[in-house]
């Protein structure tokens, strides 16, 4: 993996901002750059106005107490006490307006950065290999994107829109105090702020661990609740409602304890902050009161110092929250950048060109492949699927049948040999064009949680309504769809769970018909179905594969009787090959598998008939004869 882009452990806020800068200052978006500049101007103006606001308070106080007047640069119209009070409040409103304008201008910039980085991560995840996705949990990946995008927002909001303005306010306040009242006040404020920040950071680190424990307890309780509800029927079958309630309550008890600690620690944090700032403010106000009594300061100065300190207390109160959010944001963005650092295992070559399919001839030439080098899957496999013909690959579980289909799609790159389509090595062509030329009907058809129309049209998103309906008719599912209350607008549910296995397979067939690929892969497309449904689906598959170069990965040998050639895999090698009748006549592995499956089917049929006869006997005994 490449060097990490962000290191949350080192707290590298600066590096994070540097990495985010191309998104905050996009080279192709002049309008967003202008927004950044104008927002920055409003940011500075807001803080300048903020530190000027207490002056109007001071001048009004001096005028009202008779100890002074507004300075000469203040227009005479505004020099009266009433106008100074009005000006004070107008300045506060102006400062608030500048802040809101700043936030409004930065909103589009920040959200554009969130969108761009989220899009880049999403695209990158689809570019990663199947190996990566099989080893990672999908829920974990979605949480990385979700937290990462929120982390960007947190960094922008709390670093650029909060921390930087606060530092600017501290700097301006320090200059004012140093010039107008002496360095003693600067020293008091500096010590107060440093102690305040030190205490807040230490207490926040302590609270983060408590908060993490609370979140883990909450996640555990939520997981147990959802898992129990999803398995509602299982809970009822085994009469374990009380046990489930106890498990949930144990998790909630841990959450209760952690949540209590969280709120208690927050109380200590707030109290400690109050004590530190109170002591600092008391010290500064004490010095000011002493100078008022000596006559070196006016009441207005006393009020001014108090107002400035009160203004500083507002951003200080958010330090703990801001620190926690920035730290969490750094960690979340680090995880997102770590994901972006994962290299693409399968990449197009720089000179890759689109695949040109003229006949659809597929050849495996001495192909060797292993997911893990210590356990080879395919060992020197060679075979050919002539244009328009059907070749079936069968064999025991783990022989490498499904691996062949994955290699044709180039989900992985082979270690030895070549896979060619019309003479073109699949490693020399673009992945997009390769996968556009191949259709797949898998064993486990997973549908999108959308309408039947959307799932069929997924084979060719620009297909017309008539083409979608024609595909459904050819897949023998049109009459079923028309019988539904909402027809093609029927939602199929998550992963298509509202449809039966046969209905999902027909949707998958319709989707592939709409794609109209020259090469077709049927990867155990009927193995999960009952015998009756299998026969219906097989008829539709035979129609789809007619005239196409077809690779059939099969478990049930009854589905490959009509194949032009059957290849029998065992231990990564081709053990036998030939037609169905030739292989049966050879009396080898294929004949042995055929006989076992036939015996199992016959036993299943005898059991079914026996059950039907028993059921008929019960009915006849219950029906009276006359």
Q: Is a pLDDT exceeding 50 seen at residue 78? A: yes
Any domain includes 592 = no
The model's pTM is 0.61
DSSP letter assigned to residue 375: B
Tell me what the mean pLDDT of segment 377-397 comes to.
Answer: 88
Tell me what the mean pLDDT of segment 338-362 comes to.
Answer: 82
40 and 165 in a common domain: yes
pLDDT interval class at 431 (50, 70, 90): confident
478 and 534 in a common domain: no
Q: Is a pLDDT exceeding 50 seen at residue 347? A: yes
pLDDT at 612: 66
506 and 472 in a common domain: yes
105 and 50 in a common domain: yes
Identity of the highest mean pLDDT range in 60-64, 202-206, 462-466: 462-466
28 and 147 in a common domain: yes
- Averaged pLDDT score across all residues of the chain: 79
Tell me what the mean pLDDT of segment 364-375 comes to.
Answer: 85
Quick one: tokens of 578? 């030939």
35 and 172 in a common domain: yes
| C-beta atoms surrounding 457 within 10 Å | 22
pLDDT at 528: 52
411 and 554 in a common domain: yes
Q: How far apart are CA 349 and CA 343, in angstroms?
A: 14
The least confident of 18-32, 125-139, 203-217, 285-299 is 125-139
pLDDT interval class at 337 (50, 70, 90): confident
Any domain includes 314 = no
pLDDT at 7: 39
Q: Is a pLDDT exceeding 60 seen at residue 183? A: yes
- Structure confidence by residue, pLDDT tens digits, 512-552: 888 888 888 888 766 555 566 666 667 767 777 777 888 98
195 and 171 in a common domain: no
Quick one: tokens of 529? 């179905």
Q: How far apart are CA 571 and CA 380, in angstroms?
A: 11
For a pLDDT cut of 70, what percent of the chain falls above it? 85
246 and 167 in a common domain: no
pLDDT at 420: 92
Q: How far apart are CA 395 and CA 28, in angstroms?
A: 55
542 and 426 in a common domain: yes
Higher-scoring residue by pLDDT: 510, 495: 510
DSSP letter assigned to residue 162: I
Domain count of the fold of the chain: 4
| C-beta atoms surrounding 73 within 10 Å | 5
Give residue 490's domain range.
445-516
153 and 208 in a common domain: no
86 and 175 in a common domain: yes
SS3 81: helix
Q: Domain of 457: which CATH number?
A: 3.40.50.300
Q: How far apart are CA 360 and CA 389, in angstroms?
A: 10
Tell which residue, 177, 157, 178, has the closest CA to residue 166: 157
pLDDT at 279: 92
- Structure confidence by residue, pLDDT tens digits, 223-244: 778 778 777 777 887 788 888 8
pLDDT at 493: 74
pLDDT at 526: 61
Any domain includes 615 = no
- Sheet containing 362-369, strands listed edge to edge, beginning at the edge strand earlier in sequence: 378-385, 362-369, 416-421, 424-425
Pairing of strands 362-369, 416-421: antiparallel
Any domain includes 308 = no
């Amino acid at each position: 993996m490449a060097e990490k882009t962000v290191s949350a452990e080192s707290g590298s806020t600066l590096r994070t901002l540097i990495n985010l800068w191309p998104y905050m200052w996009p080279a192709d978006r002049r309008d967003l750059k202008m927004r950044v500049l104008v927002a920055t101007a409003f940011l500075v103006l807001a803080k300048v106005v903020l530190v000027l606001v207490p002056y109007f308070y001071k001048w009004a106080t001096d005028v009202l107490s008779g100890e002074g007047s507004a300075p000469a640069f203040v227009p005479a119209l505004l020099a009266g006490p009433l106008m100074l009070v009005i000006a004070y409040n107008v300045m506060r409103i102006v400062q608030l307006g500048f802040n809101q304008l700043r936030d409004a201008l930065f909103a589009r910039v920040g959200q554009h950065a969130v969108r761009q980085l989220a899009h880049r991560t999403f695209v990158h995840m689809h570019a990663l290999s199947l190996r990566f996705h099989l080893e990672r949990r999908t829920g974990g990946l979605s949480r990385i994107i979700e937290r990462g995008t929120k982390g960007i927002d947190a960094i922008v909001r709390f670093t650029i829109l909060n921390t930087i303005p606060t530092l600017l306010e501290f700097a301006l306040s320090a200059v004012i105090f140093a010039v107008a009242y002496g360095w003693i006040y600067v020293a008091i404020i500096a010590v107060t702020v440093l102690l305040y920040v030190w205490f807040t950071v230490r207490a926040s680190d302590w609270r983060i661990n408590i908060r993490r424990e609370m979140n883990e307890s909450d996640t555990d309780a939520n997981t147990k609740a959802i898992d129990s509800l999803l398995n509602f029927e299982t809970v009822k079958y085994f009469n374990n409602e009380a046990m489930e309630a106890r498990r949930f309550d144990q998790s909630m008890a841990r959450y209760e304890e952690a949540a209590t600690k969280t709120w208690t620690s927050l109380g200590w944090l707030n109290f400690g902050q109050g004590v530190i700032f109170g002591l600092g403010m008391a010290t500064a106000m004490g010095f000011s009161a002493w100078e008022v009594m000596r006559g070196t300061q006016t009441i207005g100065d006393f009020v001014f110092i108090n107002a400035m300190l009160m203004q500083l207390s507002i951003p200080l109160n958010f330090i703990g929250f801001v620190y926690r959010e920035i730290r969490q944001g750094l960690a979340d963005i680090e995880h997102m950048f770590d994901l972006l650092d994962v290299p693409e295992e399968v990449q197009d070559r720089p000179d890759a060109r689109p695949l040109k399919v003229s006949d659809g001839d597929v050849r495996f030439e001495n192909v060797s492949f292993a997911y893990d080098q210590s356990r080879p899957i395919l060992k020197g496999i060679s075979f050919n699927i002539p244009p328009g013909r059907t070749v079936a690959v069968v064999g025991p579980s783990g022989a490498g049948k499904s691996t062949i289909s994955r290699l044709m799609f180039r989900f992985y790159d082979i270690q030895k040999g070549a896979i060619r389509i019309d003479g073109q090595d699949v490693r020399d062509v673009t992945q997009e064009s390769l996968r556009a030329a191949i259709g797949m009907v898998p064993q486990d058809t997973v549908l999108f949680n959308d309408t039947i129309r959307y799932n069929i049209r997924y084979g060719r998103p620009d297909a017309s309504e008539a083409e979608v309906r024609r595909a459904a008719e050819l897949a023998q599912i049109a009459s079923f769809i028309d019988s539904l209350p909402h027809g093609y607008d029927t939602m199929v549910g998550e992963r298509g769970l509202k449809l039966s296995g046969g209905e999902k397979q027909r949707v998958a067939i319709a989707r592939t018909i709409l794609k109209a690929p020259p090469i077709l892969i049927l990867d155990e497309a009927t193995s999960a179905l009952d015998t009756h449904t299998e026969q219906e689906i097989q008829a539709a598959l035979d129609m789809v594969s007619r005239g196409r170069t077809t690779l059939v990965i099969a478990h049930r040998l009854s589905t490959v009787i009509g194949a032009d050639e059957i290849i029998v895999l065992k231990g990564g090698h081709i053990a036998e090959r030939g037609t169905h009748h030739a292989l049966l006549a050879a009396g080898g592995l294929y004949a042995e598998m055929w006989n076992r499956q036939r015996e199992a089917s016959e036993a299943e049929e005898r059991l079914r008939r026996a059950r039907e006869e028993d059921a008929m006997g019960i009915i006849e005994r219950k029906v009276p004869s006359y």
